[in-house]
Chains A and B, each alone.
Chain A
Amino acid sequence: MRYRIATLAIIAVAAWLLPYGLDSYAIHVVNVILIFAILAVGLGLCMGVGGQVNLAQVAFFGVGAYATAILTTRAGWGFWVSALLAIAATMAIGLLVGTPALRVQSHYLGIVTLGLALAFTNWVTNAQIAGGAEGISAIPVPTLPGVDLSSEYLYYYLELIVFALVLAFGLFIVRTALGRRMRAMRDDALAAGALGAEVPVLRMTAFLLASVYGGVAGVLYAGLIRYVAPESFSIANMFLLLAMVIIGGRQSLIGCVVGAVGLYLVREWLVDHPTVAQLAYGTVVVLVVVFAPTGLAGLPKRLRAALGRGRAGSAARLQPFRPYETRAEPAGQGAPILEADRISMHFRGLKALDEVSLSVTAGEIRGIVGPNGSGKTTLFNVISGLYRPTRGRVRFRGRDATGLAPYRLARAGMSRTFQNLRLFGDLTVEENVLVALDRSATWHSWHYLLRPVHVLRRDRDLHRRARESLDRYGLTEFAALPPKSLPYGIQRRVEIARAMAAGPALLLLDEPAAGLNGEEVRQLSEIVRSIRDSGVTVIVIEHNMGLVMSLCERITVLAGGRVIAEGEPAEVATTPAVIEAYLGDSMEVTG
Chain B
Amino acid sequence: MQVFFQTIIGGISLGAVYALVALGFSLVYRTMGLVNFAHGNVVTVGAYLASTFYLTTKLPFALAMLVAIAVTAAIGLVIERVLRPLENRDFDLMLIGTIGFGIVLDALVIMIWGATGRAVPSPVPAAPIELFGLRIRTYDLVVLAIAAVATVLLVLFLSRTKRGAAMQAVAMDHEAATAVGIHVGRSNAIAFMIGAGLAALAGGLVGPLLYVNPALGGALGIKGFAAAILGGFGSIPGAIVGGLAIGVLDSFAAGHFQGYSELVTFLVFTVIIMIRPTGVFGERTVNRA
Contact = CB atoms under 8 A, between A and B. Distances in A.
Q: Is the pairing of A and B real?
A: yes
Contact of B103 (A51, A114, A281): A281
Interface string B197-238: 000000000000000000000100010011001000100000
Interface string A290-310: 110100000000000000000
B273 A103 contact: yes
Contact of B289 (A115, A126, A419): A419
B117 interface: no
A100 B108 CA distance: 35
Contacts, number: 142
Given A115-B222, A119-B266, A246 B96 contact: yes
A53 B262 CA distance: 21
A283 interface: yes
Contact of B104 (A116, A286, A291): A286
Interface stretch (A17-25, A105-113, A139-147, A494-502): A105-113
Given A118-B266, A122-B262, A275-B107, A290 B97 contact: yes
B126 interface: no
A123 B273 contact: no
A523 B197 CA distance: 59
B127 interface: no
Interface residues of A, number: 55
A404 to B, nearest CB: 16
A286 B100 contact: yes
Interface string B269-289: 110011001000001001101
Contacts of B111: 275, 279
A285 B273 CA distance: 29
Given A108-B273, A115-B226, A115-B269, A278 B103 contact: yes
Interface in A194-208: none
Query: Dominant SS at the A interface?
Result: helix
Contacts of B93: 289, 293
A356 interface: no
Nearest to B102: A282
A114 to B, nearest CB: 7
Contacts of B267: 116, 119
A104 interface: yes
A347 B286 contact: yes
Nearest to A416: B289
B90 A293 contact: yes
Contacts of A289: 86, 93-94, 96-97, 100
A292 B105 CA distance: 21
B277 A103 contact: yes
A545 interface: no
B38 to A, nearest CB: 9
Given A119-B263, A289-B97, 14 more contacts: A103-B277, A110-B37, A116-B267, A119-B267, A239-B99, A276-B107, A279-B107, A279-B108, A285-B99, A288-B100, A290-B97, A386-B289, A387-B287, A418-B289
Interface of A: 47, 51, 53, 99-100, 103-104, 106-108, 110-112, 114-116, 118-119, 122-123, 125-126, 190, 235, 239, 242-243, 246, 275-276, 278-279, 281-286, 288-291, 293, 347-348, 377, 380-381, 386-387, 418-420, 422, 510
The 3 closest A-B pairs by CB, nearest first: A285-B100, A282-B103, A115-B266
